[in-house]
A and B are shown apart, each in its own frame.
Chain A
């Protein structure tokens, strides 16, 4: 339970940072997606992973209505939460695949035109790099912790 709470707080902090408009060189990394990917690789139970996804989506809601990007994040997040256990590689490779493919799928669902532009390519690279760093930190923190 303690692990779940800390992961929820961690994903919440990342989602809030994104909601407050954190950007690097004009690119807003998808920190919520990174958080969801890391949490999904650590949390054992699928219902807990889905709760983390919806928590991040709730924090990112920026207006009275839900936009297409937020809907796409929900879809991609739930796909990660459900499908993460069938991924065949080891942790870090899984992390890289989840963040890069997740970002690409989000762009395909919302603005495929931007995927071949600088902003899309840089975001894929940025999300994957941040994901690797966060995953290493999270793994070190929780490698000896049980649920």
Chain B
């Protein structure tokens, strides 16, 4: 009986030590399907066309950008954050605050942790993420508010936006015009000076297998 108790205590201590004092974690890489890959590629190409229409001069700088691609290992398991672990890290040139993308033209989030061969990306679905954005060809200002259902807030009611308008990031720490998604539904809240809008994403984060990180 005592032996069993000692074994249980030893296993418990070993689990605690491995979890809290070592960088080891279970890499839960998902298998990718060809169809998923093609879907993402198609949406990425459409996003890049959108970006070219919005900011031609800025897009020309893409020639100098270098993107490393990484597989998605794990997804944050709680609702309070939305982060993913990817298979590229410091050794591949990844640094803190670099931009993560779906394909090359769709913004996914920012690098928040870097280890030698892995890194953690905070996605636009993270409740703490806020980002200035513009909407459509009239470049209406708004603010992306991350979360389980991200939305664009602070859209002036006097500015005309439509369902399907492209939403793109305009923060000064990212390439101008990276597409985020499209306007889903516009919520006109009576009494408010600003409108809100839901976002239609061209990908499902649960289906993503690979991300790009702009390392230059």
Contact = CB atoms under 8 A, between A and B. Distances in A.
Interface of A: 1, 16, 18-21, 23, 26-28, 30, 32, 45, 47-48, 50-51, 54-55, 57-67, 69-70, 106-107, 110-111, 113-114, 117-120, 123
Contacts of A113: 127
Nearest to A115: B80
Contact of B23 (A28, A30, A64, A67): A64
A62 B12 contact: no
B48 interface: no
Given A20-B75, A107-B80, A114-B79, A47 B9 contact: yes
A28 B15 contact: no
Contact of A28 (B20, B78, B120, B147): B78
Interface in B111-164: 113, 115, 118, 120, 127, 147-149
12 contacts: A18-B77, A28-B78, A45-B5, A47-B9, A59-B26, A61-B25, A63-B74, A63-B113, A65-B115, A106-B78, A110-B78, A113-B127
Nearest to A55: B15
A45 B23 CA distance: 30
Contacts, number: 108
Contact of B77 (A47, A62, A107, A123): A62
B12 A66 contact: no
B101 interface: no
B19 A66 contact: yes
Contacts of B5: 45, 47
Contacts of B76: 62, 67, 69
Contact of B78 (A16, A30, A45): A30
B79 A54 contact: no
A21 B77 contact: yes
B22 to A, nearest CB: 9
A65 B23 contact: yes
Given A18-B77, A20-B75, A27-B79, A111 B127 contact: yes
Contacts of B73: 62
